């Protein structure tokens, strides 16, 4: 009898261990089928005749379909952003001749508000794919892409420029091919930064979604089914019940994404931390542990990849075995000079043609309009930098505390991710109502609205920087009994500096993007506005005044280029030279 009682718990445990992976595989298969049917449905919708204005229902039953449309648009835009960011960052990091130009262009593009891209992108996509809804949808996806991609590109570029020198030398000594170096050194080293910037990129996607699913361009109106249109129509009509239901749906999606995607990715990326002593504190995720127990996910990708990886690496190793070993600082790009010259000539021709067309368009600008734009540029510039300063004052200490303290991270990190992923534009109607009732205007209130679009870029980059500081350096600081001032000046600030600069640059772009919504907003039958470039861009888009829109965009570009030359480029050079982690 006692023997039976002993074996019953053991038998039940064995049964659970044998049946639990079956349920995990079934769940994975169900998710795969759901994704497949969603793609089929979206494909059928995109291939139908174009319908620019889709009626938006405020019924609760319509929310699941609207949520699916929005999630698919953001997911496609994010995948496009990730591919572009890795490609662009790689080219900029390893081509010194064009590096400065590529980073300057990236800085300009990430600072241009989404609405400045809106007319050319949408009109081009509709013209390229006529007769199908796909043209309009692809235009909206590309606009969401412009709200996601820039901080990912900056993050990958910064990671490549700060790879420890001895790791690069080891890759050269072992004759890694470019492909092997990319997959076994560069991508692992950049993973932590990419994961954390992906969180804020998707948040930027939600931010852009509100503006892109429903907009006016001259005499043409566009309204696509999705949560962005749902929230805008609910706010415009004063339907508080529908507005709260839409916000609740967004929060539900964000929470599910955090638990099902971001938490497992953060726990998985922790293994790529560059350290010589393994830390006792590791980020964990129950979902990741469940997925690791799935026989389907463990066996299928391994079988597919092993059949490709091993033959490829053997072929690359044989090809590079006979090649001479180059010195680390030797310029290996001399053979690509002709291609670079041809690319430069093509880009110069395209830029020259565009500049000529722009000059023809700007002839209609009056002196009064120019003066108004210059005054708006000064006002928005001050607001952008004020929001950056305020954001940095609280995000640096909080981000370091989250990155250093696993217990605090487990409590605060999910909340921060959820708050960052909820689109700031969804809160704008509520904040605007509060500002109106308090008797305040958008002059100062717009800075508070900009903070919603800037602070998360700095916070998540600081968290990534704090988590990437090797545990052995932190233990050495404790062993030598560093004071708090010494820890901050000799360990923390130098360790997070490259990530902090990336966060500040991308936060600057977020502030310029947020200016469009912070300085000009519709609230029911009332229009709230203040002087600024964001307000001018919004009004020019509504009224179809393309010369004003172009000149406002040019002014933003000039200010961004000046900041890039005078501030950000010097700080990037400092991060690469003085605050680079070397052995």
Show the domain range for 515.
25-296+366-577
Listed in sequence order, the residues at least 6 apart from 361 whose beta carbon sits closer than 8 Å to its beta carbon are: 546, 547, 550
Give a yes or no: residue 306 inside a domain. Answer: no
Q: Could you tell me if residue 345 is inside a domain?
A: no
Q: What's the total number of domains in the chain?
A: 1
pTM above the 0.95 mark? no
Q: What is the CATH number of the domain that holds 433?
A: 1.10.3720.10
283 falls within a domain: yes
Report yes or no: 379 and 446 within 8 Å, Cβ to Cβ.
no
Question: What are the angstrom distances between the C-alpha of 187 and each of 66, 157, 269, 320?
Answer: 35, 11, 11, 21
Helix, strand and coil percent figures for the chain, each rounded to 5:
80, 5, 15
How far apart CA 448 and CA 469 sit, in angstroms, is 32
DSSP character at residue 539: H
Sequential DSSP letters for 26-60: HHHHHHHHHHHHHHHHHHHHHTSPP-SB------G
| Contact (CB, 8 A) for 164 and 188 | no
E-strand ranges in 49-179 read none
* Tokens standing for residue 501: 């600069």
Residue 332, pLDDT score? 46
Question: 402 to each of 405, 410, 414, 457, 467, how far by Cα in Å?
Answer: 5, 9, 11, 15, 9
Cα atoms in the Cβ-side hemisphere of radius 13 Å centred on 16 = 6
Helix (H) or strand (E) holding 339: helix 337-362
Round to whole Å and give the CA distance between 331 and 338.
Answer: 15
Tens digit of each residue's pLDDT, the chain (583 residues): 444 444 445 444 444 455 566 666 677 677 778 888 888 888 888 888 888 888 888 888 889 889 999 999 999 999 999 999 999 999 988 888 888 888 878 877 776 766 666 667 777 887 788 878 888 888 888 888 887 888 899 889 988 888 888 888 888 888 787 888 888 888 988 898 898 889 888 877 887 787 788 777 666 778 888 888 888 888 777 787 888 888 888 888 888 888 888 888 888 888 877 665 555 556 677 777 777 777 766 666 666 666 666 666 666 556 655 555 455 444 444 445 666 677 667 777 776 776 676 677 677 778 888 888 888 888 888 888 899 999 999 999 998 988 888 777 777 766 776 676 666 666 666 666 666 666 656 667 778 778 877 888 888 889 888 887 887 788 888 888 888 888 888 888 888 888 888 888 878 877 887 777 777 766 656 667 778 887 888 777 767 677 887 888 888 878 877 887 788 878 877 877 776 665 5
87 in any annotated domain:
yes
In a domain, 351, yes or no: no
DSSP at 280: S
DSSP conformation class of 368: H
């Amino acid at each position: 009898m006692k023997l039976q009682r002993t074996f019953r718990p053991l038998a039940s445990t064995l049964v659970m261990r044998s049946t639990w992976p079956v349920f995990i595989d079934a769940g994975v298969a169900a998710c795969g089928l759901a994704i497949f049917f969603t793609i089929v449905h979206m494909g059928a919708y995109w291939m139908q005749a174009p319908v620019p204005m889709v009626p938006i229902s405020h019924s609760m039953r319509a929310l699941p379909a609207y949520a699916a449309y929005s999630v698919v648009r953001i997911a496609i835009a994010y995948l496009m952003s990730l591919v572009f960011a890795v490609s662009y960052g790689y080219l900029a990091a390893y081509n010194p001749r064009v590096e400065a130009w590529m980073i300057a262009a990236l800085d300009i593009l990430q600072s241009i508000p989404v609405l400045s891209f809106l007319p050319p992108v949408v009109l081009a996509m509709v013209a390229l794919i006529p007769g199908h809804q796909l043209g309009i949808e692809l235009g909206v996806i590309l606009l969401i892409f412009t709200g996601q991609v820039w901080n990912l590109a900056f993050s990958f570029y910064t990671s490549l420029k700060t790879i420890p020198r001895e790791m690069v030398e080891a890759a050269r000594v072992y004759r890694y091919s470019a492909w092997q170096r990319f997959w076994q050194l560069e991508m692992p080293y950049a993973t932590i930064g990419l994961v954390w910037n992906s969180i804020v990129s998707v948040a930027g996607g939600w931010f852009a979604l509100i503006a892109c699913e429903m907009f006016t361009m001259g005499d043409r109106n566009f309204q696509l089914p999705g949560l962005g249109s749902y929230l805008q129509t609910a706010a415009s009509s004063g339907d508080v019940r529908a507005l709260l239901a839409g916000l609740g749906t967004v929060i539900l999606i964000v929470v599910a994404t955090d638990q099902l995607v971001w938490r497992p990715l953060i726990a998985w990326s922790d293994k790529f931390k560059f350290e010589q002593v393994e830390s006792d504190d590791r980020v964990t995720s129950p979902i990741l542990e469940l997925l690791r127990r799935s026989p389907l996910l463990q066996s299928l990708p391994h079988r597919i990849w092993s059949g490709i990886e091993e033959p490829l690496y053997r072929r690359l190793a044989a090809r590079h075995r006979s090649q001479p070993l180059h010195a680390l600082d030797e310029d290996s790009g001399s053979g690509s000079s002709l291609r670079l010259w041809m690319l430069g000539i093509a880009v110069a021709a395209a830029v020259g043609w565009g500049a000529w067309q722009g000059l023809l368009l700007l002839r209609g600008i009056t002196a009064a309009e120019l003066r108004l734009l210059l005054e708006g540029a000064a006002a928005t510039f001050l607001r952008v930098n004020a929001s950056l300063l305020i954001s940095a004052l609280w995000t640096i200490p909080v981000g370091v505390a989250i990155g250093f303290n696993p217990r605090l991270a487990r409590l605060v990190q999910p909340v921060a991710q959820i708050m960052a992923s909820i689109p700031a534009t969804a809160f704008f109607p509520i904040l605007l109502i509060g500002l109106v009732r308090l008797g305040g205007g958008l002059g100062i209130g717009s800075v508070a609205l900009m903070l919603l679009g800037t602070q998360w870029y700095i916070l998540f980059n600081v968290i990534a920087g704090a988590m990437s500081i090797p545990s052995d350096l932190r233990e050495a600081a404790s062993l030598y009994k560093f004071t708090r001032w010494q820890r901050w000046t000799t360990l923390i600030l130098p360790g997070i500096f490259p990530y902090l600069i990336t966060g500040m640059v991308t936060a600057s772009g977020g502030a310029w993007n947020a200016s469009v919504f912070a300085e000009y907003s519709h609230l029911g039958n009332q229009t709230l506005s203040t002087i600024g470039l964001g307000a001018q861009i919004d009004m020019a888009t509504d009224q179809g005044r393309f010369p004003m829109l172009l000149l406002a965009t040019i002014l933003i570009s000039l200010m961004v280029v000046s900041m890039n030359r005078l501030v950000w480029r010097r700080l990037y050079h400092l991060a690469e030279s003085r605050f680079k982690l070397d052995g």
